[in-house]
Structure 1
Amino acid sequence: MIVDLPNRESARVIAEEFRSEAMHALLANERLGEGVEPQVLLRLKTEQSAEEKLKRKRKKYEPLNLNDFVGLRILVCNSDQLDEACQVVRKVAHANGLTELKVDDASDGQRSLPYRSIHADFNLPEIQSTDPKVVLGIEVQITTYVGRLIAEISHTLVYKHGGLSYRDKEQERLISLMSRQSSLLENTIAELFRKERNTPGER
């Protein structure tokens, strides 16, 4: 067992408080209220998932950083809101005594799929693994609703077929088409709200 039940429950309490405060702060931000309201999704890694990830990492890394033991997914309406949402979440994390470990801005050029996603890692204070070599953390992923949909579809297809190399040519073509169209949709949504902000008169 990577995390015993008392520590798992403590991690859940910390994560729920973080989620609640992050959601409140996001909704209080006028800029993030454009379009569809933001959402904050929460999950704790299952014991099986944690074991599988550590098994993959044991031969390469020391210490073993299970940075996504707690996962928060922040969903916003359009890509122009990502940076603002990230700043809001970082302030909430710091106010709750969570130490920021890193922030990774995965832009189009760093991914095979054209959606932007910001990842922020924080420590999970006072929560210990049963293995002293394993460090537990909270990973926050901030993306758009469109990005979330594309990520879920891609993740399902990759794992279902054992990896990228297992896709056939037609599936490869369709995924590429999905990527291009989703990129156009992301840009169009962002442009719509830019014009809305710059249009005088009643909202």
Structure 2
Amino acid sequence: MALPVALIRLVVLSAVALFALIALGVAAAFTSTTSSNLFINHTFEFASLGIATAVFTLVTVPPMIALEMLRPGGPTSMIIVEISWLAFLSILWLSTGADTASFNAAFLGCGNSKVDKEIHQAEDQVGIPHGICSELSALEAFAFLNWIILMGYIGMLLVMSIMAASRKHTNVWTSSVANAPFSEPAKNSSVPMSYNAGTGGQPGGYSTSGSVQAGTVHV
């Protein structure tokens, strides 16, 4: 079980890093376009949040992948550390997606065919930057995608770790995903019955041994 989970981890974190790179490019392009445009000339908070979230992700997630390969079982690979940090990143991605969607619904309405047509006309008439709707939609989509992927992975890790802990593998939280005892059987915590060979091999210390002397049996 550990090998498939480690493979899932690699795929999930790689996808999150890739989507973060795309979101970083989109958010940076949106910020550059809006801040340099004379008609808008403003930097929006959701785009700045998207840039910060993407940077946090790219600075931490690829090293998490590399360290698990180069130094398995290190502190950064502990399941409790991984769950905590990825949960923090998932909250940031959710906030980015929600803020972007809120701005879109309140001020632009991209995605509505009528609104898209009006914005396209305004791009030529009053100088609204071209492609502003596509950049906004892309940032929103990749932010929510990363949130969904991270939450699914965190949920899987939590369930499997709790199940392992219920089988008396209390060290699962400090194990790495590759070395975690997800599929190992439960530990046997029962105390075996003592056996004392010197007392006749009977439990409880009772002796059944005896001796025979000159026709007299001594028990």
TM-score, normalisation: structure 1: 0.28
Query: Computing the radius of gyration over CA atoms, which structure comes out larger, 1 or 2?
Result: 2
TM-score by length of 2: 0.27
Structure number with the higher strand fraction is 1
